[in-house]
């Protein structure tokens, strides 16, 4: 399990960060335009942020 999380932290985190930035920008545009249906963008921002933090915590745990 530790090696899998290490691989995710090293190789998947940059893609998660890119997805987080794009979805955050999309969400900000939707809010600015006053769209009512922002659930999908909010969910993706939440998921990508959670995975980024989770992988950082695991990489810190593995290096300790």
pLDDT band of 9, cuts 50, 70, 90: confident
Using one digit for the tens of pLDDT, what is the confidence trace for 15-58? 999 999 999 999 999 999 999 999 999 999 999 999 888 888 87
Q: Which residues contact 7 (CB under 8 A, 6 or more apart)?
A: none
């Amino acid at each position: 399990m530790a090696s899998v999380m290490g691989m995710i932290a090293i190789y998947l985190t940059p893609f998660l960060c890119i997805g987080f930035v794009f979805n955050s920008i999309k969400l900000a545009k939707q809010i600015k335009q006053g769209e009512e249906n922002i659930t999908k963008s909010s969910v993706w921002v939440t998921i990508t942020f959670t995975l980024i933090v989770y992988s950082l915590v695991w990489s810190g745990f593995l290096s300790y």
